[in-house]
Amino acid sequence: MTLCASKWNSTFPDNYRVMRVNKKILTYMIFSHVFNMLLLRLSFLLFVISKRGSGKQVHEVHWNASNPMFRIDNTDNVIDVNESNGVFEFDQANIVCPYYQGTSSSPQTSDEEKETYIIYNVSKEEFDSCIILNPNPRVIAQCDHPDKLLYFTITFRSFTYLHPVAWNLSQGTTIISLQRLPKGSFVARMEVVSPKTRKMYKEDLYRRKNQKRRHEETMFKQEASRMPSSSPSIHGVFSWTLSRLLLPIITLSFLHLSLVS
């Protein structure tokens, strides 16, 4: 018994130390495997979400009086952005300023005929009235150098983080209005609509249609209740006929039962 106990005590510390080391290695391997699997799945999920959309679009808008988009009889001055884009995909709009380059074959345009603009971000009321009411409107860009090729790129994001040319479309419609310099008769307007705003417009239109339909149904019922009944209804005729047929049958049944008894 003494020798056996001595032998066990001599080998116990080494075995215990090896077991603790193996346990740490096993725990590290399990944790590393789980972490790598989670990281791989997260990367794959982000990749799928980012590729789910149809890709961002870049809208080219030539801002001048000859563009048919800005004709008075044309109401198609709305640009839909970020319709089916991924999470990290945002549409852009390149606003190209008027550019005049005189050559030997074509005469140069006079300064009075050159188009110059200031680009403002305005409200819906200002957009509809073509009048800027805000004393300090936000200027997007200035097309005041017609002899230089200028264009401004605007990125339409679902969120903004103090980006100088990024527009936050999460709270509604972003309206862009441009006016001529100096003051003239030509006013160009463009409306940018986000998917969330488009959904709000559709829901509001659907709600108005339902309200109109319910109002028409209520008015029809009120008119029908006030109209005099000149002819018996189908329900009244059916009840009268059924009562006239059932009464003799019930009477004959009682007579038959009384005779049998």
208 is a domain residue: no
Q: What gap in Å lies between CA 77 and CA 63, rounded to an integer?
A: 12
What's the pLDDT score for residue 210? Answer: 64
Cα separation of 112 and 118, whole Å?
Answer: 16
pLDDT at 194: 57
Ranges of residues in the chain with a pLDDT under 50 are 1-9, 104, 161-167, 169-173, 180-185, 197-202, 229-234, 237
Dihedral (CA of 123, 128, 132, 133) sign: negative
* 118 domain residue, yes or no: yes
Q: Is residue 39 part of a domain?
A: no
In a domain, 141, yes or no: yes
Cα 40 to Cα 48: distance, rounded to the nearest angstrom: 12
* Residue 210, domain member (yes or no): no
Q: CA angle 174-177-181, nearest 5°? A: 155
Give domain status of residue 209, yes or no. Answer: no
- Torsion of the alpha carbons at 187, 193, 197 and 200, rounded to the nearest 10: 80
Task: Give the pair of three-digit tokens for residue 211.
Answer: 């309200």
Q: What is the pTM of this model?
A: 0.48
143: its two tokens: 């097309």
Domain, as residue range, for 155? 58-101+114-200
Query: Residue 73 maps to which CATH number?
Result: 2.60.40.420
| Calpha distance 205→216 (Å, rounded) | 17
Instruction: Tell me phi and psi for residue 229, to 5 degrees.
Output: -90, 100
Number of domains in the chain: 1
Spatial distance between the Cα atoms of 156 and 169, rounded to a whole number of angstroms: 7
What pLDDT was estimated at residue 164? Answer: 46
Give domain status of residue 211, yes or no: no
pLDDT, one tens digit per residue, over 165-223 is: 444 544 444 556 555 444 444 556 666 665 554 444 445 555 656 666 676 666 656 66
Query: Residue 69 domain-assigned?
Result: yes
